[in-house]
A and B are shown apart, each in its own frame.
Chain A
Amino acid sequence: MTEILGLSPAQTVGPYLAIGLLRDLITPNVVDPGDPRALRLRGTLLDGAGEPVPDGMVEIWQANAAGRYAHPADTRAELDLEDGFLGFGRSGTAPGGRFEFVTVKPGPVPWPGGGMQAPHIEVGVFARGLLKHAVTRVYFPDEVEANAADPVLSRLDEAARSTLVAVAEDGGLRFDIRLQGPGHTTFFAV
């Protein structure tokens, strides 16, 4: 007899998440801001009325520049994984709903069953009013060919796809997240 345990359900992160989650351990810097490859990824978290969400949190998870994840499930030892690279960052959205990360552009990663995915960063969005976090992805505007061939992007319609591609701005990238309403971000069930 195999017993399958029931999952623990999600609850909202609430308005006071900063107390527990925006501390010293996990920061918006996926790489050191002095890293010559450093890329600024910034954006605004917006609600259905177009108003900024100032009490939320955004998390990002990604492979390194070679496309390798700092995780034992990524067994591709032929790809370099530099010491100290984890690939995870966390930013609050105060003030003005704004979040900002310092990271590197990840390399392409495999698609199950063959082929590659375009470079992307996985994103988790947390806020008061979100009973469970929302998941989306950031793709890169300079990867036109890879994006066109990407197995996720290529099956979305143009409007949905366009919400996932960041915009080049001020030497970095801007990725606004709209929780609902016109131009809402495409969210995934993962």
Chain B
Amino acid sequence: MRVEQHPFAEVVDADRYGVDPPYDHHDYVGTRLRAPKEPLVIIPSTLTELTGPAYGESAIDPLDHDLTRQHAGEPLGERIIVGGRVLGQDGKPLRGQLVEIWQANAAGRYLHAVDTHDAPLDPNFSGAGRCLTDDDGWYRFTTVKPGSYPWKNHHNAWRPNHIHFSLFGRAFTERLVTQMYFPGDPLFPYDPIFNAIRDEEARERLISRFDLELTQPEWALGFRWDIVLGGREATPLEEPHHD
């Protein structure tokens, strides 16, 4: 069934019916002064929301998807391939989608002035990549597995290994910034950012899986992670009936 919303009703969170984390999540200290506290105003999707930016092949360098080949030498760490499909909720591939990623190096350090974690920078690793999805919605990056790192949110707080992802979707309503995690991470139960997503199934959709098909012999392990984009209005409240 389709959700009908009365325009200009107010909702506490634009959480797309429990998929997104709420803004206000006390365990994540950074939210306390930054999370919008007042109800959001629902507006119907107008042409402003039903459109959004798209970039073509000319915007991308063919090497932008390979984070291990951006410097004179190779970065240290476990070389991995991360790939998957970008899909609409109907399972159809989203073609030509700009996928932007960034991550810590294998030691758990970002190439950023604000990161003061006592772990080494890698002169051969910047940690940024981008690509466009192909006609089947596929994206693919070669990189090194990011290390975990401490982040001072609470005593002995460590982030699970993750790669940041940014996608535009087909419209402004589909804009998504998220994080991809790795299977079996022992830090999941302790991470307030991951656990801010209340729905367990939704949370687990952010965990990649080891994929022998993506794994290249004598070269790199492969991790598969599909991304599903959609806006609030396209999200059904209940599972559809199966005929």
Is B231's CB within 8 Å of the partner chain A? Answer: yes
B177 touching A133, Cβ below 8 Å: yes
Instruction: Report the minimal beta-carbon distance from A69 to chain B, rounded to whole angstroms.
Output: 4
A8 touching B30, Cβ below 8 Å: no
Given contacts A10-B20, A20-B102, A127-B34, are A111 and B203 in contact (CB under 8 A)?
no
A6 touching B48, Cβ below 8 Å: no
B36 touching A10, Cβ below 8 Å: no
Given contacts A9-B19, A19-B111, A71-B54, are A189 and B41 in contact (CB under 8 A)?
yes
Instruction: Report the minimal beta-carbon distance from A88 to chain B, rounded to whole angstroms.
Output: 4
Is B136's CB within 8 Å of the partner chain A? Answer: no
Given contacts A87-B53, A109-B48, A117-B46, are A128 and B205 in contact (CB under 8 A)?
no
Main secondary structure of the interface of B (DSSP, over half): loop
By beta carbon, the residue of chain A nearest B53 is A88
A188 touching B42, Cβ below 8 Å: yes
**Number of residues from B at the complex interface, CB < 8 A:** 89
Main secondary structure of the interface of A (DSSP, over half): loop
Q: Which residues of chain B have C-beta atoms less than 8 A from A117's C-beta?
A: 46, 48
Give B84-106 as 1s and 0s: 1 = Cβ < 8 Å from A's Cβ atoms. Answer: 00011111000000001110000
A20 touching B164, Cβ below 8 Å: yes
Contact of B37 among A126, A129, A184 (CB under 8 A): A184
B202 touching A6, Cβ below 8 Å: yes
Give A127-145 as 1s and 0s: 1 = Cβ < 8 Å from B's Cβ atoms. Answer: 1111111110100000000
Is B175's CB within 8 Å of the partner chain A? Answer: yes
Instruction: Report the minimal beta-carbon distance from A48 to chain B, rounded to whole angstroms.
Output: 4
Q: Which residues of chain A have C-beta atoms less than 8 A from B126's C-beta?
A: 19
Apart from A7-B228, A8-B205, A131-B35: 18 A-B pairs, beta carbons within 8 A: A4-B90, A5-B88, A11-B21, A19-B128, A48-B33, A63-B47, A69-B48, A73-B51, A74-B47, A87-B53, A88-B52, A126-B177, A129-B30, A129-B31, A132-B20, A132-B23, A156-B41, A188-B43
Give me the 8 closest cross-chain CB pairs, A-B, nearest first. A20-B102, A129-B30, A129-B34, A71-B51, A88-B53, A189-B14, A131-B21, A11-B179
